[in-house]
Amino acid sequence: MTVRYEVIGIEGIGEVRPGDDVAALVLAAAARQSTPIAPGDLAVISQKIVSKAEGRLLKLTDVTPSAVAVAMASGLGRDARLVEVILRESRRVVRMDRGVLVTETHHGWVCANAGVDQSNVEADTVALLPEDPDRSAHALRERFSAAAGGEVCVVIADTFGRPWREGLTNIAIGVAGFAPLKSYLGERDPAGRPLQATVLALADELASAAEPVMGKLDRVPAALVRGLVLPPDDGIGSKSLLRDPARDLFR
């Protein structure tokens, strides 16, 4: 049987504000466009609307930068208040050079600006990553599954850069309902040799698959991935995607 699946953008969700019920907004929008969330679906939700609904917004006018942030901002040529916020969201600075600040967030993600973002929010406001994206994903999964009458999986996605290659890709920062890694460990090729390249970051690949239908202008902050069988949940969530720093050659 041919393996195939579909990716469907969910439009008409509209502007999301602190306290809004993202699950209800996504369910209603999906139903309105005649693609209601169904059992077996993976819902990919933009980090930005989750952060907004959870009130993870900060007014830069309320931020007093520390002396360290002022000094770093001067070297980077950036707003000291923004640098202050980035440092607060980080547990380690990975690279600081040529205007770029790559840090490790409190969750363990390594990314530019600790995921702090100034687009698609009000002036002088920044959006932080959700405090616990796996928890956010689980809460959405419960609501979606109840509405669909069957199991729905959820990925909270954000666009991260990477070394060596131009362009950002959408990746998973929160996962609920399935194991984000797909493993071929122990399997062999037709010649009987153990497979190399044996663990695939399926959750990241599916976040990327969703991106082409998700409007960067925040008009389509959610998508459905429909028709795939995902690896059974191992209860670890997105933390499986974090490389152990002791095994990482690039920190």
The CA R_g of the chain, rounded to the nearest whole Å, is: 19
> Closer to its own copies at the Cβ: 150 or 227?
227
Per CB under 8 A, 97 contacts its own copies: yes
19, 77, 186, 190: residue in contact with its own copies (rule CB under 8 A): 190
234 contacts its own copies (rule: CB under 8 A): no
How big is the CA angle at 89 (ends 83 and 94), to the nearest 5 degrees? 75
Query: Using H for helix, E for strand and C for coil, what is the string for 105-162?
Result: ECCCCEEEHHHCECCCCCCCEEECCCCCHHHHHHHHHHHHHHHHCCCCEEEEEEEECC
By the rule CB under 8 A, 99 interacts with its own copies: no
Select from 50-58, 68-76, 83-91, 239-247 the region that touches its own copies (CB under 8 A): 239-247
Give the CB-side neighbour count of residue 180, counting CA atoms within 13 A. Answer: 26
Which secondary structure element, helix H or strand E, spans residue 182, and what is its range?
A: strand 182-183
Q: Of 54-62, 63-71, 142-150, 209-217, which segment contacts its own copies by CB under 8 A? A: 209-217
Give the interface segment with its own copies, choosing from 19-27, 68-76, 133-141, 204-212 (CB under 8 A).
204-212
Q: Which is nearer to its own copies, 146 or 162 (CB)?
A: 162
Structure-block tokens of residue 176 = 């609920």
Binding test (CB under 8 A) with its own copies, winner from 62, 217, 232, 235: 217
Is the Cβ of residue 8 or residue 139 nearer to its own copies in the bound state? 8
Q: What is the DSSP string of 219-241?
A: T--EEEEESPPPPBP-S-GGGGG
Q: Which stretch binds its own copies (CB under 8 A): 20-28, 49-57, 133-141, 240-248?
A: 240-248
Between residue 109 and residue 168, which ones bind its own copies under the rule CB under 8 A?
A: 109-110, 117-123, 159, 162-168
Q: Cα separation of 40 and 8, whole Å?
A: 14
Q: Which CB atom, from 64 or from 247, has the smaller least distance to its own copies? A: 247
Part of the chain binding its own copies (CB under 8 A), chosen from 17-25, 52-60, 133-141, 196-204: 196-204
Report strand pairing: 182-183 vs 199-200: antiparallel
